[in-house]
Structure 1
Amino acid sequence: MVINISDAALKWFQEEVELTKGDKVRFYTQIYGSSPIQESFALGFTVDNEPIDMSVKTEVEGITFFIEGTDLWFFNGHDLHVDYNQQKDEVEYSYTKSE
């Protein structure tokens, strides 16, 4: 599994969430949402500088984006792509089957 962060999404995290080098962002599952890969579950994020089980991670410009082992089931063999939607002014997630 891979986490891909687009340049536009990185810029959004830096400007809107005020992330800087050394910060960590955890993507986690939440109930009562919607996603194309898990019915009734969605993906959220939080700034979390105390990871417990950082199972998948990527680092971009010194910011670590990660997923804990307890949330890997959500992805069901898919990679996570994080991009920025300018019309909605928010990040959005898409998923592709892992190779």
Structure 2
Amino acid sequence: MKLVIEPDAARWYKQELGLVEGDQLRVFVRLGGCGSVQPGLSLGIMKDESRSPGLREVAEGLVFFMEEDQLWYLDGKELHLIYDALEQEAVLEVRG
């Protein structure tokens, strides 16, 4: 498993959420949405402090992480945070 953050996506979050260097963003499993890996579940992202990160990556001065107890959602795949220029927003994608 791997967490990959595109710099453009990190900059988008920095701007949209008014974040500063050192802020942390947690990727978490939530009920509902249109996730493609686990039926009836999807991923969300929020500003938070890490407790027991299973995946962690720094991009544009921001710390992105997913807690160890949530990694089951990825089912061994990679999580990519990309910037969709057409929609002008960051998107979470599970690949592999």
Identical residues among aligned pairs (%):
27
Counterpart secondary structure, 1:13: helix
Number of positions where the alignment pairs a residue of Structure 1 with one of Structure 2: 96
TM-score computed with the length of structure 1 as normaliser: 0.87
Equivalence for 1:2 = 2
| Contact 2:54/2:65, CA 8 A, preserved across alignment | yes
Gaps of 5+ in 2: none
Are positions 1:85 and 2:84 aligned together?
A: yes
Aligned partners of 2:8 and 2:92: how far apart in 1? Answer: 13
CA RMSD of aligned residues (A): 1.3
Aligned partners of 2:67 and 2:11: how far apart in 1? Answer: 23
| Contact 2:11/2:60, CA 8 A, preserved across alignment | no
Letter in 2 for 1:94: E
Gaps of 5+ in 1: none
Letter in 1 for 2:4: N
Aligned partners of 1:62 and 1:41: how far apart in 2? Answer: 29
Are positions 1:63 and 2:62 aligned together?
A: yes
Aligned partners of 1:15 and 1:76: how far apart in 2? Answer: 31
Are positions 1:94 and 2:93 aligned together?
A: yes
Distance 1:61 1:86, change over 3 A: closer
Counterpart secondary structure, 1:91: strand
Offset of 1:15 from its aligned partner?
0.8
TM-score computed with the length of structure 2 as normaliser: 0.90
Aligned partners of 2:69 and 2:16: how far apart in 1? Answer: 27
| 1:44-90 residue CA offsets vs partner (Å, 9 max, x unmatched) | 001002x2211110011321100001210110011101112233332
Counterpart secondary structure, 1:4: strand
Aligned partners of 1:61 and 1:89: how far apart in 2? Answer: 18
What are the residue-to-residue correspondences of 1:24-35 with 2, within 5 Å?
Answer: 24-35=24-35
